[in-house]
Amino acid sequence: TISRVDWECVDSHGGSRLTVTNNTLLTCRTGVMIGASGGFTPKDIVISGNTIDNQAESNPYGNNGSSILLWGMDANNLSTGRITNNTILRSNQIYLKNTKDIDVSENTLTKMNALGIFFESYNQNFRVTNNVFTDICGLVSPVLQLNVE
């Protein structure tokens, strides 16, 4: 269990073949952040079986982070991986940017502060299947939003 972190509970910049599984992450601005950095793009990432509860309504670090964030460098350097079987409570979206061959499946998202799953910029060949969304409570909160360039 990791709790009460003012930034990301789990944080990596540019790692490959990383696995983040079976953790409990509580009251963090962002639960898991794996992003591009220094010319390196995350590849073959597995984020699975985690419980993420950012307790957005009472989080002293703010409620503007994401539950899971995965992004590649740009359209030529796309991240790959799987985000599966996570339980996400009182948080913000699963945020994906510059990815390909991403599988987002069998996650449970409950009492989300904003959005459910958010794809931004360049995303290719992704699958979003068998996720359960309950009480997505932002002002204008689609369950799935795609912004593409």
> In terms of DSSP bridges, do strands 108-110 and 132-134 run parallel, antiparallel, or are they unpaired?
parallel
The pLDDT mean for the chain works out to 86
If one counts every other C-beta atom within 10 angstroms of the C-beta of residue 111, the result is 16
User: pLDDT at position 69, please?
Assistant: 93
> Strand locations in 14-135, DSSP E?
19-21, 24-35, 45-48, 51-53, 68-71, 79-84, 87-89, 92-105, 108-110, 114-124, 127-129, 132-134
Give the global pTM: 0.89
Tens of pLDDT, residue by residue over 32-77, are 999 999 889 999 999 999 999 887 566 665 566 789 999 999 999 9
User: pLDDT at position 56, please?
Assistant: 59
The 3-state DSSP class for residue 51 equals strand
Under 8 Å between Cβ of 65 and 88: no
